[in-house]
Amino acid sequence: MENIKWIKVESPEEGAKKVFTLISEELQNNRLHVLGLATGSTMIPVYNEWTNSTLDFSNVTAFNLDEYVGIAADNPNSYAYFMNEHLFSKKPFKETHIPNGMAEDLDEECKEYENQLNAHPLDIQLLGVGENGHIAFNEPGTPFDSVTHVATLTDSTLGVNSQYFENDDKIPNIALTMGISSITNSKKLIMIAFGEKKRAAMEKLKAGEVTAEWPITKLLRHDDVVVITDLQID
């Protein structure tokens, strides 16, 4: 696909170095003011590269994609905790935003989050992908024009993500997530996918057919996408 630049790497560590290069170029050229961030094991080597570097995010505002409902920021299972542990405690940002899954009025929280995004348009959004092709917590079938909303997680996602849950906490089946439209409004998208479990999603992207059953395929309608993967997709 012409809108997608595919970068094949040999390992997650090499992939993380590619992300580092892209991000540092954008920072140096003064093109990165608002950065969309993601969670998940894919992002750990990426954030390690950043925290072991002199990259300066002190003028950058960050927005995270999603958060579980009912898990507090000081709980190790929350995405807020993940971000703090892997990045924010080590690299200062100008501002950081993560949807508040403890908000009393979840719909209002989503509305406010989307307003914040509109006030700070994303320059770059980092993305991982679920095994079922979800981006953030936009599960198969989510409308492409969706904005930040309360999402119900599929059994497949609950099964995959529950392996990361600690302390006998039960994984919530609802989450707050930026919508597909909130994500693809970003000027640039960097999709990162490592390992065989992501092959089906990468193959759908490569095949070039846009379908709501594979939310990742919405990237085919964006004009500036970089995919970094250790999979050879023909």
State the nearest-atom distance from the C-beta of 198 to ligand GLP, in Å: 7
Sheet holding 95-97, edge to edge: 4-8, 225-229, 188-193, 124-127, 34-37, 61-64, 95-97
Neighbours of 41 (CB within 10 A): 12
Beta strands in the chain (DSSP E): 4-8, 34-37, 61-64, 66-68, 95-97, 124-127, 149-152, 174-177, 188-193, 225-229
Neighbours of 3 (CB within 10 A): 12
Asked if 172 interacts with ligand GLP (CB under 6 A), we say no
Active site residue 145: no
Cross-strand partners of 64? 37
Asked if 128 interacts with ligand GLP (CB under 6 A), we say yes
Segment near ligand GLP (CB under 6 A); pick from 34-42, 96-104, 139-147, 202-210: 34-42
In whole angstroms, give the CA distance from residue 26 to residue 97.
21
State the nearest-atom distance from the C-beta of 219 to ligand GLP, in Å: 13
Identified catalytic residue from 49, 66, 109, 230 = 66
Segment near ligand GLP (CB under 6 A); pick from 53-61, 112-120, 124-132, 224-232: 124-132
- Name which position in 11, 41, 59, 89 contacts ligand GLP (CB under 6 A): 41
Tokens of 10: 């040999």
- Name which position in 38, 69, 106, 171 contacts ligand GLP (CB under 6 A): 38
Q: How many chain residues interact with ligand GLP (CB under 6 A)?
A: 14
Asked if 101 interacts with ligand GLP (CB under 6 A), we say no
φ, ψ dihedrals at 71, nearest 5°: -115, 120
Q: Please identify, using beta-carbon distances, which residue of 22 and 176 lies nearer to ligand GLP.
A: 176
Residue type present at position 152: T
DSSP state of 151: E
Identified catalytic residue from 64, 77, 100, 132 = 132
Asked if 136 interacts with ligand GLP (CB under 6 A), we say yes
Asked if 98 interacts with ligand GLP (CB under 6 A), we say no
Q: Which are the catalytic amino acids?
A: 66, 132, 134, 139
